[in-house]
Amino acid sequence: MGFGQGSSIFDSSVVIGRDEVGENTWIGPFVVLDGSGGLRIGGNCSVSAGVQIYSHDTVRWAVTGGRAPVERLSTQIGNNCYIGPNAIIAKGVTIGDRCVIGANSFVNKNFPDDSKVWGDPARFVAQVDER
């Protein structure tokens, strides 16, 4: 499945497409990993229960009655990140290293290293300073 040594995933999770997961990453129950457009999750990450990470959407396809193609963009999660329960990460988003994504957040834009973000849509709240 493209998982690094020491990584684990609950059997209730769904893995689709091209997914790459670094070493020592924990993926909780009821997670959706959509790698149909390419998905990379770094090492030493914690992906909480109910998280959904997408690399495609069917919005344009649906509203055009199937005339427009499904849109796919690679999604990237850095190393040493925490993604809180029920967060949703949209296609094409890049999250840097050492980021914290709050529970129930909708992440539809990129965030740099050391960002704490939460909300719907997610917004920068503070700098991570855990070193």
At residue 54, the pLDDT reads: 98
Q: In which domain, by residue range, is 90 found?
A: 8-127
Strands 75-77 vs 8-9: parallel, antiparallel or unpaired: unpaired
pLDDT of residue 19 exceeding 90? yes
pLDDT at residue 130 is higher than 80: no
Residue 55 lies in a domain: yes
pLDDT at 36: 96
Which own/partner contact pairs does 101-109 have at CB distance under 8 Å and 24+ positions apart? 103/48
Check: CB of residue 34 under 8 Å from CB of residue 70. no
Position 3 in a domain: no
Residue 2: inside a domain, yes or no?
no
Q: How many domains does the chain have?
A: 1
pLDDT tens digit string along 59-84? 999 999 999 999 999 999 999 999 99
Residue 1 lies in a domain: no
CATH of the domain at 49: 2.160.10.10
- Reduced to 3 states (helix: H, G, I; strand: E, B; else coil), residue 61 is helix
Whether the pLDDT of residue 131 is over 70: the answer is: no
Within 8 A by CB and 6+ apart from 62, the residues are: none
Terminal-residue alpha carbon distance, the chain: 31
59 belongs to a structural domain: yes
